[in-house]
Amino acid sequence: MSDFALHRHLPQLELPHIQLGEYPTPIEHLPALGDVWLKREDLSSPIYGGNKIRTLETLFADSQARGMRRVQTLGAYGSNQAVACILHGRRLGLDTGAVLFPQRATPTAAENMRVILSECEHVRMLRSILTFPAHWLALRSSKDTYLVPPGGANPLGALGHSANALEIAEQLHAGTMPTPKHLVVAIGSTCTTAGLLVGLPLAQKLGLWPGELPQIHAVRVTPWPVTARSQVMKLAKATARYLEQVGGPRIEPDPKLLVLNTKHFGWGYARVTQGGLAAAKHFAELTAPPLDTTYAAKSGAALLELARETEGPFLFWCTKSSAALPQVDEARIARAPGHIRRWLQRADKHKAFAP
Ligand SMILES: Cc1ncc(COP(=O)(O)O)c(C=O)c1O
C-alpha cells in the first residue's frame, strides 16, 4: 500500500510522487496546554524534517519524470526549504542549488546558512533582494534546470499537504484524537495552507473526515501581499484545478475555513517577537518540539492565545524539523564571501537572546 495518502485513496491519480519522509507523522496530545494536539511534522524525516518534505516529494518526482537532474530553489538566507532541498535532493542523486536573498540575521537563520554553505556547492547568496526577481525569472526560463519556487508554492507542491489532510482523517478514524475544531499553522509561502484548503474538503468528499471541517488559523510570518488572503485562495483554487486535471474529483476550496491570523507577525519576516520567544520557551519547558523564531514560534504564540480564548480541540503544526543537523564544515564557511561572514557574525551576536 502506498505511503502517499493521495495515492491510497485515489489510485487513479496521475501524480508524480517519490517518498522522502516517514508517514504518518504522529499526532500527540500536549495535555499541559489542555485540548491541544500536535501534528509532528518535525518528525517527517530523520535526515531533515518539517513541513517542506511533503512539498518536495511531488516536486522532486516531477523533476525526475522530466529527466531534470539540476534542481534550484529560491528563498531567504536561512531557508528551511533550501536545507531540505539540498539534503534530500542528494539522496536522489539530484544536483541541487539555491539562490538566496538577505534576511534578518538571527541564530535560527544562521544555523541553516551554515549547513547550506557546508553542504552545497551551487549556492548564490545575493547582496540585495532587489536582484532576486531577475534571478527568479532567469531560472524560470532555464530549459535544463528544474525550479522549486520559494516555499514550493505551486499546485503540485501544495498537493503534498492535501495528502496530509487525508492522513489526518485516517488518524482521526483510528481514534488518535477527537476531530479538531481548529488547525493552527504558520503561513509563509502559502503552500501548506493552500494544500490543506483542498485536502480537507477532499477528505470530506471521500467520506473520510469525521464531522465538521475545522478552521485553519494561518499565522502570518511573511508580509502582505505574499500571504494576502487572495493569494492563499488563488493557490488553493489552482491546486484544486490541478487535482481535477490529474484525475481527482472536483473540489471547491471554502474561504470560510481560512482564518488569516496577522497578530503575531511583528516587525517583519524573521524578526523575533516577544510572543514567539515566550511560546518557544514554554514549548521547551514542556519538552514539546522545537519552535523556530521565524515560523513555528509565531504560530505557537497564536496557538497559546487561541487555546486561552477559544474552545478546542486544536491541532498545531510542528513545522520546524527536529532532526539533528549535519556537522558544519568550518573551512568552507571561512571561505564564504565577506558579506555572508559578516551576516553570520551579526546573527551570532543575538545568540544570547535566542531560545
Ligand atoms: C518551519 C516552517 N514553518 C512554516 C513554514 C510555512 O509554510 P508555507 O511556506 O508552506 O506557508 C515554513 C516555510 O518555509 C517553514 O520552513
User: How far, in Å, from the CA of 189 to the mean position of ligand 1?
Assistant: 7
Residue position matching grid coordinates 519547558: 285
* 97 φ/ψ angles, rounded to the nearest 5 degrees: -155, 175
Is 319 touching ligand 1 by the criterion CB < 6 Å? yes
Look up cell 551576536; give the residue.
Answer: 349
Residue-level pLDDT at 56: 98
Give mean pLDDT, residues 265-274: 96
Q: How confident is the model at residue 196 (pLDDT cuts 50, 70, 90)?
A: very high
The residues, any chain, with a CB within 8 Å of residue 163's CB and separated by 6 or more, are 4, 5, 6, 54, 195, 199
pLDDT one-digit tens code per residue, 128-147: 999 999 999 999 999 999 99
CA 295 to ligand 1: nearest atom = 3
User: What's the pLDDT tens digit per position in 292-324?
Assistant: 999 999 999 999 999 999 999 999 999 999 999
Task: Answer yes or no: are the C-beta atoms of 127 and 342 closer than 8 Å.
Answer: no
Spacing, Cα 300 to ligand 1 middle (Å):
13
The pLDDT of residue 355 is above 70 = no
C-alpha distances in angstroms, 18 versus 8, 22, 63, 84? 14, 12, 11, 14
Radius of gyration of the CA atoms of the chain, in A = 19
SS3 readout for 87-107: HHHHHCCCEEEEEEECCCCCH
| pLDDT surpasses 90 at 202 | yes
Structural domains of the chain in order of their starting residue, each with its CATH number: 5-51+155-317 (3.40.50.1100), 54-153+328-353 (3.40.50.1100)
How many residues belong to the chain? Answer: 355
- Binding site membership of 107 for ligand 1 (Cβ less than 6 Å): no
Element (H, E) at 27: strand 27-29
DSSP string, 344-355: HHHHHHGGGG--
pLDDT for position 350: 79
Sheet with 70-76, side-by-side order of all strands: 122-125, 95-101, 70-76, 145-148
Which DSSP symbol is given to 307?
H
**Centre of ligand 1 from the C-alpha of residue 108, in Å:** 14
- Residue 274 to residue 279: CA distance in whole angstroms: 9
Q: Measure the CA–CA gap between 141 and 19, rounded to whole angstroms.
A: 28
Task: Tell how far the Cα of 81 is from the centroid of ligand 1, in angstroms.
Answer: 8
- Report the distance separating Cα 319 and Cα 192, nearest Å: 10
How much distance in Å is there from the Cα of 186 to the middle of ligand 1?
6
Atom of ligand 1 nearest to the CA of 150: 9
250 Cα distance to chain centroid: 25
Tell the burial category of 127 from Cβ atoms under 10 Å away from its Cβ (0-12, 13-18, 19+): exposed
CA–CA distances in Å: residue 352 to residues 106, 278, 293, 346, 347: 11, 15, 14, 12, 10
Residues 6 or more apart whose Cβ sits within 8 Å of residue 23: 3, 4, 5, 44, 167
What is the end-to-end Cα distance of the chain in Å, rounded? 41
Note the pLDDT of residue 231.
Answer: 98
Confidence of residue 3 (pLDDT cuts 50, 70, 90): confident
> What letter would DSSP give residue 46?
S
Share of the chain above pLDDT 90, in %: 97
Residue among 39, 51, 235 to mutate when testing ligand 1 (max atoms within 8 A of CB) = 51
- Helix, strand, coil shares of the chain, percent, nearest 5, are 45, 15, 40
Closest ligand 1 atom number to CA of residue 320: 1
pLDDT band at 2 (very low <50, low <70, confident <90, very high): confident
Instruction: Say yes or no to pLDDT of 278 above 80.
Output: yes
DSSP 194-218: HHHHHHHHHHHHTT-S-SSPPEEEE
Residue 354 has pLDDT above 90, yes or no: no
Mean pLDDT for the stretch of residues 61-76: 97
E strand or H helix that includes residue 220: strand 215-220
Summarised one tens digit per residue, pLDDT across range 229-262 is: 999 999 999 999 999 999 999 999 999 999 999 9
Average pLDDT taken over every residue of the chain? 97
